[in-house]
Chain A
Amino acid sequence: MATSTETKGSASHHADPIPAHAGIGLRHQHYRAVVESRPPVGWLEVHSENYFGGGRPLAFLEAARQHYPLSLHGVGLSLGTDGALDRTHLGRIKALIARLQPALVSEHVSWSIAGGVYLNDLLPLPYTEEALQVICGHVRETQDFLGRQILVENPSSYLQFAHSTIPEWEFVAEITRRTGCGLLFDVNNVYVSACNHGFDAQAYIEAMPVAAVQEIHLAGHAVREIGDATLRIDDHGSAVCEAVWQLYAAALRRLGSVPTLIEWDSNVPELPVLVAEAMTADGFLAQAAEARDAAAA
């Protein structure tokens, strides 16, 4: 499939579409190195909330934006909270979009705010019709307010609610069907949750609405032993593990060449390590494209 970034949402926002190559999450440790050395990565993604002020962060990002297509990834909107969306927050995202002209804007299938308190974490939803209606309402409100399509990212989680009635993959796919939003498919999150909750990661991939997937995330995770059981923790603090690379290859076979981001948020390494991870992802993307061409020939 051709990447769908050019055909989704409002064309006026897409002066620099995200190419079907690997990009990296830009973190403050690498501001200067990225601007000065301009590493050979296809695009950059940042956390929107880190650029709501002015000053140095925004100045560096604007300098980097001169050379790379950009994706804005939000972590604070809390689409899954049963309560009003924060209009101030939405307004700041909108202003940032106007300033930076990102090709993609994304958020999460999760929640972070309850009773007016922000927990600074991506917390799990129960997979029920009620929660589906809440998050779909907020996705629609966000898309209407911003005047463009957003992507939502499938979550990682460490617990499941006993009263959930919908498998997570169906819940996520249904959001895209009901709201017309796109999907940010996080392969590491699928792997982490599949291990933690004992579901089949391949079945998850099979359930994804192919046309809606416009971006893939890859990251490392931690493994914690609790008693005689294992919990995988999505800490974005290490290299992508082999099992996640293999799942990524499987995802590309079904989803096509999708722009792929390397995320690394804790124990952030030197820039060349991130660039090497992106190059590895590019290798998988090229292999998947060749396999498809061979099949078509």
Chain B
Amino acid sequence: MPPLRNLQDALAASVLRGADAPLAALVRADGIAFEGRLQVYRNNTFSSLTAALKDSFPVVCELVDERFFGYAAQEYIRAHPPRAPRLAEYGGDFAEFLAGFEPVRHLAYLPDVARLEWAVNAAYHAADAPTLDPARIAAVPQDRYARLTFVVHPSVQLFASTFPTDRIWQAHQPGGDLETKIDLTSGGCHLLIDRHDQDIRFLTLDAAGFALAAALCAGASLQDAYEEAAAIDGAFDLIAALSTHLGRGTFADFVEPAA
């Protein structure tokens, strides 16, 4: 009699990799061939995980069509099965997988679309938190702004791409324009994605504004973050950028280090 652990490893290997021999010997033979029984479990695992990936990457699915998506998902599931029983967290390296997946090598923008969808997914499932009341920042004397750091709202995600990935994504939303051809060489995008009143929002930034947001997300002081932005755009308007973020609720809180 095999120990339970060996049996469970054997069934998992049979479901994921079709390694049937060790398991077949353990299953009672009565009326239906082993293969027919195993196919039910295999189908449950692959179809439910494919459905979970399709929920998280609907635009990728539309771009490559459902049949090809099913094939790519199956290969991905085999190579990167979920490590945790929480499907909302499954697919974090799907973009990376697509980047190395030979059959879609001609779709150079596809991995970036997957990255954008993953960022949207992360914003959607992020914890709830109140946003920073701008009046609290207004109460800080301006000469002390330089050293402030910010706690970014848990839903905030940053996304940059050399392709017009945002326009591709928008075209595939309900009511989106699928007729107008998107010129893939028309320029990249810098986005701040977050969730507000349960809705996903995109804030389009320029390279300098993105550098500021990235630095603040990484915990840099306002001064240091400004210098990152100013290195890209000498005329960067920090006050305008800050008021945009405060107005939208990019931050949950701020910290003023002790002098």
Contact = CB atoms under 8 A, between A and B. Distances in A.
Interface of A: 49-50, 52-56, 58-59, 75-78, 81-83, 86, 88-89, 92, 111-121, 123, 125-126, 128, 130-131, 134, 158-164, 197-198, 224, 226-227, 229, 231, 233
Residue of A75, A82, A121 with highest tally of chain B CB at under 10 A:
A121
A53 B122 CA distance: 9
B12 A54 contact: no
A72 B5 CA distance: 28
A231 B28 contact: no
B8 A81 contact: yes
A55 B126 contact: yes
B86 A55 contact: no
A76 B86 contact: yes
A130 to B, nearest CB: 5
18 contacts: A52-B86, A53-B127, A54-B125, A55-B155, A81-B8, A114-B9, A120-B44, A120-B49, A120-B52, A120-B87, A123-B8, A126-B4, A126-B7, A158-B40, A159-B27, A163-B26, A227-B36, A229-B36
A164 B7 CA distance: 12
B195 interface: yes
Interface of B: 1-5, 7-9, 11-12, 15-16, 26-34, 36-38, 40-41, 44-45, 48-49, 52, 81-88, 124-128, 154-155, 195, 198
Contacts of A76: 85-86
B30 A198 contact: yes
A117 B40 contact: no
B127 to A, nearest CB: 4
A171 B135 CA distance: 62
Classify the interface of chain A: helix, strand, loop or mixed: mixed
Contacts of B81: 117-119
Contact of A119 (B12, B88, B126, B127): B12
Nearest to A134: B4
Given A82-B3, A130-B3, 7 more contacts: A55-B125, A86-B84, A117-B83, A119-B41, A161-B26, A163-B1, A226-B32
A56 to B, nearest CB: 4
Given A52-B88, A55-B124, A160 B32 contact: no
Nearest to B198: A56
Given A121-B48, A123-B11, A231 B126 contact: no
B4 A231 contact: no
A198 B28 CA distance: 13
B88 A56 contact: no
B43 to A, nearest CB: 9
Given A59-B198, A119-B45, A161-B26, A114 B8 contact: yes
B40 A233 contact: yes
Given A159-B37, A160-B28, A114 B198 contact: no
Given A121-B45, A231-B32, A231-B36, A161 B124 contact: no
Contacts of B126: 53-55
